[in-house]
Amino acid sequence: MALRGRIHSTESCGTVDGPGIRYIVFMQGCLMRCKYCHNRDTWDLSGGEEVTVDQLMPEILSYRHFMKSSGGGVTASGGEAVLQREFVAELFKACKEEGIHTTLDTNGFVKQYDEALNDLLSYTDLVMLDLKQMDDKAHIELTKTPNRYSLDFARYLAFHDKPMWIRLVVVPGHTDSVENADKMGRFIATELGNKVEKVELLPYHTMGAHKWEHFGDDYELIDVKSPTQDIMVKLKNVIASHGVNVVIG
């Protein structure tokens, strides 16, 4: 019987989830509970639609020209794609057989290091890793999870020579401190090194707040404004001072 995965949705011509034009598969299910999550509807592990890789590949291949001409490919996002590592590995394997670049977009909340994870990474060309807070207490307050799992996963990726993009969503009052940026820059420079191709600073927004209302949840950050350009530049300069390539998204 063919392996089936649970997906939330797909996007055919994404331009912000990896290099070039990308076909994005949003996997269903996530264990983090980020206060600023704009994909609240992906949390439920039993939600979404069941599909096989064979069902996805014909549509993916129909966009191959756009992906190839732009240096793009396929991105598995979420939710949290690593929760369905066996399925994503099979998807990425099929993509690699067709010469398609693969990107794993993950929060790094990985507790189990097994052959299935190594199999997934073997078919992964690039990992986009979200790091949210270097202070564990602040990370728990923001996501309901400790940060050690994401940091350990980053170290694991570096040890296995996996190219990374690090992403930081700049949330005023939560992730926008100079101290957090300095610690992140130092961590990247000293423990991850040149495996990190760049850091992307992404300004916080409230575009997903309506999804929380749909589930009857309170969106605690509704009154938080997007960070100013001055703040974004300041944080960029702090991280860059450690010799890290930083861009503002």
For residue 9, give Cα distances in angstroms to 63, 94, 115, 126.
16, 19, 27, 21
List, in sequence order, the alpha helices (H) in the chain. 53-62, 64-70, 85-97, 115-122, 136-143, 148-159, 178-187, 209-214, 229-240
| Domain that residue 74 falls in | 4-248
Strand 73-77 with 4-14, pairing? unpaired
Determine whether 190 is exposed, middle or buried from the number of CB atoms within 10 Å of its CB (0-12, 13-18, 19+). Answer: exposed
Q: What pTM was computed for the model?
A: 0.96
Determine if the peptide bond prior to 18 is cis (ω within 30°). Answer: no
pLDDT at 119 over 90: yes
Query: Position 96: which residue type?
Result: K
Instruction: Reduce the DSSP state of residue 220 to 3 states and report it.
Output: coil
Q: What is the C-alpha to C-alpha distance for residues 119 and 113, in angstroms, rounded to an integer? A: 11
The per-residue pLDDT for 8 is: 96
**Two tokens, residue 88:** 């994503």
CATH code assigned at 236: 3.20.20.70
* Confidence bin at 18 (pLDDT 50/70/90): very high
Q: Quick check: 110 and 56 in contact, CB under 8 A?
A: no
Q: Which of 25, 80, 34 is nearest to 202 (CA)?
A: 34
Please, which residues bridge with residue 126 across strands? 103
Q: Write out pLDDT tens, residues 173-200.
A: 999 999 999 999 999 999 998 999 999 9
Instruction: Reduce the DSSP state of residue 239 to 3 states and report it.
Output: helix
The per-residue pLDDT for 104 is: 98
- As a whole number, mean pLDDT of residues 99-119 equals 97
**Two tokens, residue 79:** 């939710």
- As a whole number, mean pLDDT of residues 228-239 equals 98
Q: Write out pLDDT tens, residues 140-167.
A: 999 999 999 999 999 999 999 999 999 9
Q: What is the C-alpha to C-alpha distance for residues 212 and 215, in angstroms, rounded to an integer? A: 5
Q: How many domains does the chain have?
A: 1
In the chain, pLDDT over 90 holds for what percent of residues?
93
pLDDT at 1 over 90: no
Q: What is the C-alpha to C-alpha distance for residues 103 and 17, in angstroms, rounded to an integer? A: 8
pLDDT at 129 over 90: yes
Mean pLDDT of the chain: 96
Would you give the distance in Å from CA 110 to the centre of its chain?
13
pLDDT at 213 over 90: no
* Confidence bin at 206 (pLDDT 50/70/90): confident
Q: What is the C-alpha to C-alpha distance for residues 27 and 51, in angstroms, rounded to an integer? A: 11
The per-residue pLDDT for 210 is: 87
